[in-house]
Amino acid sequence: MIDFRLPEELETLRKTVEEFAAAEVAPVIGEIYQREEFPYQLVAKMGRMGLFGLPFPEEHGGMGGDFFALALVLEELARVDSSVAIAVSAGVSLGALPIHKFGTPEQKRRWLPALCAGEALAGFGLTEPGGGTDAGATRTTAVRDGDEWVINGSKCFITNSGTDITALVTVTAVTGVGPDGRKEISAIIVPSGTPGFSVAPSYSKVGWCASDTHELSFSDCRVPVSHLLGAEGRGFAQFLSVLDESRIALAAVGTGLAQGCVDECVRYAREREAFGRPLADHQAIAFKIADMEARAHTARLAWYHAASRLVAGEPFKREAAIAKLVSSNAAMDNAREATQIFGGYGFMNDYPVARFYRDAKILEIGEGTSEVQRMLISRDLLTP
């Protein structure tokens, strides 16, 4: 029979992060979120815990774990706050993972130790203002000039791209045209502070207000040819493979948010009274909470399955898309119900459920919209 219980080492990790989130994140994140600040002190603490290095080998400063362990951590963090969770998720699965998967030995030696320690962050420059979901419509260009790439273009909605500890952004750029007339897109590492690389002021966002997100521009930005990441012309394919793994990470974040809504509502329903009885005694409320728990449980099983296939080296694209779709639906539905259960208090930013409500929507958009996930699932099922 299949055993869904976590092995002892993973349960210990889960419990450690659960306790960290309750003791260190919960007391301070509300004010940080309201001020729309990046949680530098929390990131430093998580770095010292080894969370940014979980799925990377020890030779590069990692913890020697796997992607399942990372996703487990993300769920526990997101039960308390998604901004903190996404700082880790993007820092690992979008920032460091491309270098780990496709980097040269020298690129790994240069960048991975600080990224694994949480002392530096990296961004993932794929989305463009005119492209959105159609990431293949890349307009940013990189032209070879001697021993340098000259980059021109812009990127938008890039997480962890403008913090004080952002070390680099890996960007996709058109580097040529293939025999079939299609664009050849490559991935290139651009260190922070490179002349011609500009970071716009942080976006004013509906949610993830303690997360760092910027538009980036490149104007005759020059980097060495050695900053090419992976094979020339394979950058888009590389980033698609990274997104498959990253969707599991975001599914874990969505599951955490959905479970956090349950946690808050269980606590509130036991304490709050209406018509002379605790809310928990009213069947309308109890049934809402039961449905919320069912959604969170289902989302967890979905990402567990996808992550297990990834770790086992089995195909997981469809399962990752299912996990992303199911978990984002669960997060949105649970956030709406939690706000309803809290009533007027749910509309006040002093309460976590208000933050959850604001944070949930982006989960249906980021790293592939829900429509894209349905496209991936149906394509996998229906293509001979």
Beta bridge partners of 274: 277
Nearest to 25 by CA among 256, 213, 250, 247: 256
- Written as one string, the DSSP assignment of 334-370 is HHHHHHHHHGGGGGSTTSHHHHHHHHHGGGGTTTS-H
Residues in the chain: 384
**Residue of 75, 319, 364, 367 with catalytic role:** 367
Nearest to 269 by CA among 337, 331, 350: 337
Q: Is 367 a catalytic residue?
A: yes
Where b means 16+ CB within 10 Å and e means fewer, 135-174 reads beebebbbeeeeebbbbbbbbbbbbbbbbebbbbbbbbbb
- Give the SS3 label for residue 151: strand
Question: Which residues are catalytic, by number?
Answer: 367
